[in-house]
Amino acid sequence: MLPINRVKQALKSGQPVYGTMLVESPSSAYIMMLAHVGYDFVFIDMEHGVYDLGDVAGMIRVARLAGITPLVRIPDLAYDLVARTLDAGAMGIMLPRVETVEQAQTLV
């Protein structure tokens, strides 16, 4: 059974959601803190951040356990990044610099 993406549900019903982006610290403590204070999501930034896929996988795992929706901004449209990020449990991804319909379709 797939976990429920509470951010997606809230947005579909017109409710606001709150979150932030992490860029510099791979510490899972920040994710726990964000969940504890009531954030709905955390964006883990692989484009400008210092994270490799191992860091991101660990952060996703902690976010899901803490009940905060893990989203990841990947640095580019590379199949291995998309697939491995989703395989690690990301509940959404952001692709920067999308300039064509074909890029969006490839991502989907």
The domain spans of the chain are 6-107
**Is the overall model pTM greater than 0.85, yes or no?**
yes
Per the annotation, the verdict on 36 as an active-site residue is: no
Q: Residue 2 has what pLDDT?
A: 65
Q: pLDDT per residue over 23-69, tens digit each?
A: 988 788 999 999 999 999 999 999 998 889 999 999 999 999 999 99
Question: Residue 75's closest CA among 56, 99, 49?
Answer: 49
CATH assignment of 6-107? 3.20.20.60
Catalytic residue among 18, 33, 48, 98: 48
